[in-house]
Chains A and B, each alone.
Chain A
C-alpha cells in the first residue's frame, strides 16, 4: 500500500498521526492531491471501519455530554479559551513583528508579515517540525490535560489529509476561505469568532447535514474545541499539506495562529511543493515522535503505548502495517471514501448515516480518552509496585513459610499457641494471619499448570514477581538488622520502627557492666538466697523459663530412630536426649528440692508453693520430671505438710473465717497442686504410702488435719491404701508397716477429730472433713470406729438436726455428706432420724 511510492515497510507505522484514531477530515483537506491516488486508496480500503462495534455506547453521554441534542450540544467547555484568547491574540500579533527579520530569507510566498513561522515550513518542509516545537515550547501553557483534546485531531488531520489525497467536501464555512481572496478575511478570525461560528454551526447542524454533509459540524458536536482547528487546518491543508505535521505540538492558541498564517500568504503557490509531499509526510512523524515523548503530551501517541492499547480502534495497526492509518480509517471511511455516495443519499438516509457517524465518532473519542493513559506504566513499573506492596505485606505478616517455626513462635507466641489450642475451632490456624500474603504468593503458584501451556506475558510476570518476593524476603532476613541509630551526644538510640516493632522510639543504652546486677534476668544466675520474697519470685521465674525451654525442646523432639542402623537419626535422638537431660537438671536445680532450709525457715521448695505462680507451675513441672523426681517432690511436700502456707496459715477454727486471699490460695492449691500430687500418689506402692503416713506422724498432725489442704492430703493417703487393698496389692511386710503407721496416726489425729470442721455446724463447706472421716472409718478397726463416732457424734447430730430446718435440697446435700462417713462405718443417717 504505497500511495506515494514509498514502501510501507519504510514507514514507521507507529509514528503519531499515522495511526491516530480520529480524523474524519483528513480526506477533506487534501483536495489538491491527485484524485487517482484517492481512488486507489478507496479500492484498497478493507472496510475495517464497518466492523466497529456499535455496542458499548452506554457512557457516551457521560463522555461527550448530551451532544446528540441539536442545540446547546456543545456546552462551553471549550470556552476555556475565551479568557486566554486575548493573550493568545496579542502573541499572535506579535509574531509578525518578531518574525519580520527572517522574511527575506524565506521569501517565496510570504508577502504577508506573519510569514516567518510558516516560511521554513513551506520552503523546507522537513525542518519544519522542529521549528514548530520550538515555538510551541516557548508558548505552551502549563498543561491542563485539556489541550490534548484539541491537539490530537489536528495532528491526525494534517498527516492523514495529505495521505489520503481524497477530494474533500467543502463545508459551508471553510469553503470560502479556500480561495485566495477569502483568505484575508479568514486571517482576522480570532479564536472567539471561530468559536462563535462553531456554536452557530452546532445549532444549525441539522440544516448543514442535509444541505452539505460536511463532517465539520459532526466533529463540532463531538470535539467542539477541536473543531476549531479542523476548520482552520482544513483550509490550511488544502494549500500546504506537508508542512503542518509538527503543528499539533503547539500550544492550543498557538496552533491556531500557525495554521491561520499560511492560509493568508500561500494560497495556491505552495502547490509546487505537492509533488514532494510524500517526504514531508514521512518525516514529520519521525520528528514528532520524540517531541511528544519529551513533552509527554500524550503517551498514547508513543508507539509503545499505542501498541499497548488493545481497545483502541487503532489496535489492528501493529498487526496490519499495510493499513497503518487504520485509526483514521475507522472513522473516516464512510464519509471520506464515499463522498459521492453520501451525496447520492436522500435526506433521511443522510441524516441517519450522519447520526451513525456521529455516534461512531463519539465512541471512538471516548475510547481514545479512556485509553490515553494506557501504557502509562510499563509492565516493569507494575511489577515494581507490586513487589513493593508484597514486601510490605510480608514484612507486616511475616513470611508465610516461616509460620510455626521458632521465629514466628518467638514473635507471635500467644497467637500461634492459642490457635493451636483452639485448633478445633479454626480449620486453618494460619489463615487469618497471612491470608493475603498467601493469597498473593500461593494463588499464583496454583496457576502453574496453566502457565505451562501459555507462556504469556502476565503469567510470566507473576512468576517472576513471586521469585522476586521470595528473594526480597530472603535478603531482608539475611541483612543484618540495623534497627537503631545512635546520634552522638544523645542519651539513647533512635530506633527505626518497622512493621513488627512499631514504636520503640527511644531505647536507652545500658552501660555494659554497671547495670548488670540490677537486671532481673541476670539475677537468676546468682546463688539464690532463701527466705526473701524477691529471690523466691526470681526462682519461680527461672523455673518458668526453664519450663518453656523444655517445652520448646519437646516440640523439637526428633522421631525415635527406626533402627540402630540409622546412625544419623540415632545421633539426633541421643543429642536431643542429652539436651533434655541438661534441661531437666536445670529445672531440678531451680526447684531447689535438695537445698537445705535455713534454720527457722521453711524449705525453699515449699516456700515456692506459697505463691500462686508456684502452685500453677506444679502441673507443668510434674510433666517434665522423672517418676523418681516426682516421688521426691511428693515426699518433700508430705514431710513439710504442716509448713505449707496453705496449711500453716489456713487453720480452721470455730470463730474466724479464713481471709478471702487465703481461701483463694487454698482453692488454687487444691486445684493446681493437689491434683498433681494425687496423680503422683496413684502411682505409688503401699510401702511408700505407709512411709509417708508415718512421716506425717512426725509432723504436727493436728495442724495438718485442721486445714483443708492437709485434711485432703490425709484423705488421699488413706484412700490410696484402701484402693491398694481392694486391688490386692502390697506385700505382707508393707501391710504390716501400713497398719502400724495407721494405728499410730489414728492416735495422733483422734484429739483433733472434733475440731477439724470449718466453722460452726451451719458452715456448709465441710464435705472434705466427712471425706477424711470416711477414709479413716473404712480402714479403722471396730475399736477405732467406736472412737471415731464418739469424736464426731456431736457434729453428726447437729448436722442432722440442722438439715431439718434447711430447704429440701440443701438438707439432703448435708445429709449426704454426713452419710459419707456413716456408711464407711456401716451406719446411715436414716437411722438417726
Chain B
C-alpha cells in the first residue's frame, strides 16, 4: 500500500506519467486507486506532434499496469517521511512473510 499511500498525497499536483508505449502525459493527478490506476486532468502529451490523436484529449484514466514511470514533483515529496514509510512497509512485509 506504500505506493498507493504515496500517490494519494500527490493528488492535485502535476505529474508526468510515462506509459509503456513511450507516451508521456503531463497532467494534474486527480485520483489513484490501489491498483495505481491514475486519473489525470488537464493533460498534455509531451511530444504532441508525435501523438496527434491525443491533442483533443483533456483528461485520461490510465490503467496502472501500463504505467512505466511517474515523474514526481520533487517539492511535494517528503523524503524523510517517505524513507520512514518505506521502513515501515518493509517491516510489515517482513512480518507478513514470516
Tell me whether B66 is interfacial, beta carbon within 8 Å: no
In the complex, whether A745 has a CB less than 8 A from a CB of chain B is: no
Contacts of A419 in B (CB 8 A): 9
Complex-state Cα separation, A418 to B85, whole angstroms: 10
User: Quick check: is A412 within 8 A (CB to CB) of the other chain?
Assistant: yes
A590 to chain B, nearest CB (A): 14
Q: Select from chain A the residue with minimum beta-carbon distance to B98.
A: A510
Q: How far is the CA of A433 from the CA of B11 in the complex (A)?
A: 11
Q: Which of B78, B89, B92, B98 contacts A418 (CB 8 A)?
A: B78
Q: Which of B4, B5, B11 contacts A432 (CB 8 A)?
A: B11
* Contact A414–B5 (Cβ < 8 Å): yes
Say yes or no: A414 contacts B87, CB within 8 Å. Answer: no
Contacts of A499 in B (CB 8 A): 34
Interface flags, B61-98, vs A, CB<8A=1, else 0: 00000000000000000101111110111011010011
Nearest CB on B from A583, distance (A) = 15
Chain-B contact segment, one of A10-18, A349-357, A540-548: A540-548
Contacts of B78 in A (CB 8 A): 414, 418, 421
Smallest Cβ distance from B10 to chain A, in angstroms? 10
Kindly state whether residue A415 has any CB partner on chain B within 8 Å: yes
- Report if A413-B5 is in contact (Cβ < 8 Å); known contacts: A396-B34, A421-B81, A544-B87: yes
Return chain B residues, CB-CB under 8 Å to A510.
97-98
Nearest Cβ on chain A to B38's Cβ, whole angstroms: 14
Q: Are A412 and B87 in contact (CB under 8 A)?
A: no
- Asked if B51 CB lies within 8 Å of chain A CBs, one says no
Residue of B whose beta carbon sits closest to that of A521: B94
B contact residues around A341 at 8 Å (CB): none
Once the chains bind, are B91 and A545 in contact (CB under 8 Å)? yes
| A415-B81 in contact (CB<8A) | no
**Residue contact B84 to A415, C-beta cutoff 8 Å:** no
B92 and chain A: residue at smallest CB distance? A410
Q: Are B82 and A414 in contact (CB under 8 A)?
A: yes
Within 8 A of A (CB), among B1-17: 1-2, 4-6, 8-9, 11
Rounded to whole angstroms, the CA-CA distance of A6 and B61 in the bound complex is: 66
Contact B87 A502 (CB under 8 A): no
Does residue A507 face the partner (Cβ distance < 8 Å to B)? yes
Partner of A413, one of B34, B88, B94: B88
Contact A500 B97 (CB under 8 A): no
CA distance A541 to B33 in the complex (A): 30
Question: Is B81 a contact partner of A545 (Cβ separation < 8 A)?
Answer: no
**Which residue in chain A gives the minimum CB-CB distance to B8?**
A415
Q: Is the CB of B88 within 8 A of A501?
A: no
Complex CA gap A545/B94 in Å reads 13
Q: Mark B1-43, 1 if CB is under 8 A from A, else 0.
A: 1101110110100000000000000000000011100000000
Q: Are B9 and A418 in contact (CB under 8 A)?
A: yes
Which of B11, B35, B89, B91 is the one whose CB lies under 8 Å from A502?
A: B35
Q: How far is the CA of A521 from the CA of B91 in the complex (A)?
A: 9
CA distance A421 to B78 in the complex (A): 10
**Shortest beta-carbon distance, A618 to chain B, in Å?**
12
Task: Assess whether A413 is in contact with B8, with CB atoms less than 8 Å apart.
Answer: no
The one of B33, B35, B84 that contacts A544, using a Cβ cutoff of 8 Å: B84
Contacts of A415 in B (CB 8 A): 5-6, 8-9
A312 to B: closest C-beta gap in Å: 41
Interface string of A398-415 (1 = CB under 8 A from B): 000000000000111111
- A755 an interface residue at 8 Å Cβ cutoff? no
Q: With A421-B78, A545-B87 given, is the CB distance from A414 to B9 under 8 Å?
A: yes
Residues of A within 8 A of B6 (CB): 414-415
The yes or no answer to A795 lying at the interface (CB within 8 A) is no
Q: Which A residues touch B1, using CB under 8 A? A: 411-412, 500-501
Contacts of A545 in B (CB 8 A): 87, 91
Q: Does A616 make an interface contact (CB < 8 A)?
A: yes
Contact, CB under 8 Å: A433 / B8 = yes
CA distance A225 to B88 in the complex (A): 70
Known: A396-B33, A421-B78, A500-B34. A548 touches B9 (CB 8 A): no
Contact A507 B81 (CB under 8 A): no
Q: Within 8 Å of chain B (Cβ to Cβ): is A802? A: no
Interface string of A301-331 (1 = CB under 8 A from B): 0000000000000000000000000000000
How far is the CB of B94 from the nearest CB of chain A, in Å? Answer: 5
**Separation in Å of the B31 CB from the closest CB of chain A?**
8
Is A91 among interface residues, defined by CB-CB distance under 8 A?
no
Kindly list chain B residues whose C-beta atoms are within 8 Å of the C-beta of A548.
84, 87-88
Tell me whether B84 and A413 are in contact (CB under 8 A).
Answer: yes
A370 CB–B CB distance under 8 Å: no
Is the pair B81, A414 in contact by a Cβ cutoff of 8 Å? Answer: yes
Q: Which residues of B contact A521 (CB under 8 A)?
A: 91, 94
A504 to chain B: closest CB distance in Å?
9
Chain B residues near A422: list those with CB within 8 A. 9
Q: With an 8 A cutoff between CB atoms, is A491 at the interface?
A: no
Kindly state whether residue A417 has any CB partner on chain B within 8 Å: yes
**Residue on A nearest B9 in the bound complex, by CB:** A418
Closest B-chain residue to A498, C-beta based? B34
Are A414 and B2 in touch, CB under 8 angstroms? yes
Q: How far apart are the CA atoms of A521 and B92 in the complex, in Å?
A: 12
Q: In the complex, what distance in Å separates the CA atom of A414 from the CA atom of B82?
A: 6
B36 to chain A minimum Cβ distance, whole angstroms, is: 8
In the complex, what residues of B have CB within 8 A of residue A500's CB?
1, 34
- B8 touching A432 by the CB < 8 A rule? yes
A contact residues around B81 at 8 Å (CB): 414, 417-418, 421
Q: Mark A415-430, 1 if CB is under 8 A from B, else 0.
A: 1111101100000000
Q: Which residues of B contact A418 (CB under 8 A)?
A: 9, 78, 81
What is the CB-to-nearest-CB distance from A615 to chain B, in angstroms, rounded to a whole number? 12
B34, A502: Cβ atoms under 8 Å?
yes
Chain A residue numbers with a CB within 8 Å of B83 are 544
Q: Supply 17 A–B pairs (Cβ within 8 Å), ascending by A.
A: A411-B1, A411-B5, A412-B4, A413-B84, A413-B89, A414-B2, A414-B78, A415-B8, A417-B81, A418-B81, A432-B11, A510-B97, A510-B98, A521-B91, A521-B94, A544-B83, A616-B80
Binding site for A on B (CB under 8 A): 1-2, 4-6, 8-9, 11, 33-35, 78, 80-85, 87-89, 91-92, 94, 97-98
Closest 6 CB pairs of A and B: A414-B85, A415-B5, A414-B5, A418-B9, A413-B85, A412-B5
With A418-B81, A421-B81, A499-B34 known, 13 other A-B pairs at CB within 8 A are: A396-B33, A412-B4, A413-B89, A414-B6, A414-B78, A415-B6, A417-B85, A418-B9, A500-B34, A521-B91, A544-B83, A544-B84, A548-B84
